Chain A
Amino acid sequence: MKTLLLLCLNFFKTGLFAVGGGLATLPFITDMSNAHPDWFTKADIANMVAVSESTPGPIGINMATYVGYHMFGVPGAILTTLSLTLPSFIIILILAGIMEKYSENRIVKAVFAGLRPAAVGLIAAAGFSVLLIALFPGYSGSTVFDMSGITALFSWKALVFFAVVMAATQLPKLKDLHPVAYIAIAAVVGILFKF
């Protein structure tokens, strides 16, 4: 009982301080393992990351669920996930209220006029890094100048498939297809052609 409470407290802390999403929760989980070696091992963490990245859902949520289930079964999974979610839930509720109130403010409008184009650039950059991973399976660097994965095999299959999907999203009949349909087809294509 005491351990469960401590575990939830640790995930609450992670939710409060892990900024940016994706694998931002990973350093916190490594810290937990260092502070409480009896909770889970480094090998457990490697397995968690692999499972979290290969299943649907936000990676941070997947990791929290995995740790919770690993230690306390389904109740643990639910409690750790809610603990991780709670801090940002509260913060966003407050922020959303403030934004509704000041959305017509001249300065707020100007700030968002600057944020929107930057967000376009950020999302494009994120898409670009996923593209590098898709085209060079085994690539592990984070920027173009990071050549740690340059020897990784180039995947022609991935490039062709990327181009086909890109073209499909611009065709009049296919462009309104639900992303779910693309994802389902992509999984089948990946298995059939051994990507």
Chain B
Amino acid sequence: MQKTLAERWKLALKMYVSFFQIGLFTFGGGYAMLPMLEKECVDKHAWTTRDELLDIFALAQCTPGIIAVNTATFLGKKQAGLPGAVMATLGVISPSLVIISLIAALLKNFADLEPVQHALAGVRAAVTALIFASVWKMAKGALKDPVSIALAVIAFLLVALFGVSPVAIVLGAALAGYLFFAVLKEHGKEGDA
């Protein structure tokens, strides 16, 4: 399945266009891009799966840098090597470069404009619903056993109610995964034999 360099660049250009769209329609950063990512990278182009998106988000959570950029780099590298990583990353940052430069030059009071504030409030309510719809689809795929369900609920409660750092959650979940799915299962098998 090795792609030639020409094929990689062709795919990389396609990724630039997709990630440009994702950057252009992500309001609020971070997880707000999830519904766009899911549509473009899972449903439309099959560059990744919902499960792998969760893996990338967990990794991006505890590596430095912007989550959107980390995701673009990771998927670009996986699909089309270095050209893919470069083009997907440039794609996700290009809209910001253009829009912010224009606003900084022409419309310094952009954020205070009344229509902008109303539009953003509307977008915020809709994006929240889209995020929950995405989470629901991902949960159906990723939460199939009691341990997984418990991990998801505990992670949600710790962050939503007690403001625990996501980095701590990711490290704890990695350890729990190792204990439950590697160590305990091994013991289970020995017990059965």
Residues on A facing B (Cβ under 8 Å): 15-22, 25, 47, 50-62, 65-66, 69-70, 74, 77-78, 81, 84-85, 87-89, 91-93, 95-97, 100, 106-107, 109-131, 133-134, 137, 142-146, 155, 158-159, 161-163, 165-166, 169-170, 175-176, 178-180, 182-183, 185-191, 193-195
Contact = CB atoms under 8 A, between A and B. Distances in A.
Q: Which of A21, A69, A88, A180 counts the most B-chain CB atoms under 10 A from its CB?
A: A21
Given A57-B92, A143-B160, A191-B119, 13 more contacts: A58-B30, A58-B67, A61-B66, A69-B105, A85-B66, A89-B73, A110-B178, A114-B177, A115-B54, A115-B59, A121-B153, A143-B161, A144-B160
B131 A61 contact: no
A123 B117 CA distance: 25
B97 interface: yes
Contacts of A87: 64-65
Contacts, number: 391
Contacts of A133: 124
Contact of A114 (B34, B35, B36, B178): B178
Contacts of A183: 25, 27, 123, 126-127
Contacts of B70: 88, 92
A183 to B, nearest CB: 5
